[in-house]
Amino acid sequence: KAGVTQTPRYLIKTRGQQVTLSCSPISGHRSVSWYQQTPGQGLQFLFEYFSETQRNKGNFPGRFSGRQFSNSRSEMNVSTLELGDSALYLCASSFSTENTGELFFGEGSRLTVL
């Protein structure tokens, strides 16, 4: 069974640009959640999607958005990039239909903003 796949793995952008990250969950998993990890802040929850609906949202500005498609693949978008957006962005999928469930993480997308 393939694991959670995140693309791209690494990317470099400049301030003001926008970026789209993709996450393909494990087959059969309908919940996808996104996290930002920075050295100073640790892991911070961005949002969680279940069956194409945003079920939970973290405390991030509106520049951060996401969506989920009918095949459960999810994308997150960050517009008007700032230097502080440089981070490792992780997604996780879960089989559980409840809000709790074992999480399976991708390897992450490492974004550098110059």
| Residues contributing to the site for other proteins (CB under 8 A) | 33, 37, 42-45, 48, 55-56, 58, 88, 90, 92, 98-108, 110
Specify the DSSP class assigned to residue 40: T
CB of 67 to other proteins, least distance (A): 19
CA–CA–CA angle 37, 53, 104 (5° rounding): 45
Residue number with CB closer to other proteins (14 or 41): 41
* Distance, CA of 105 to CA of 15 (rounded, Å): 28
CB of 16 to other proteins, least distance (A): 26
The tokens describing 104, both together, are: 């399976």
CB of 66 to other proteins, least distance (A): 15
Residue number with CB closer to other proteins (70 or 100): 100
Residue number with CB closer to other proteins (42 or 62): 42
Greatest pairwise CA separation for the chain in angstroms: 39
37 — phi, psi (to 5°)?
Answer: -125, 120
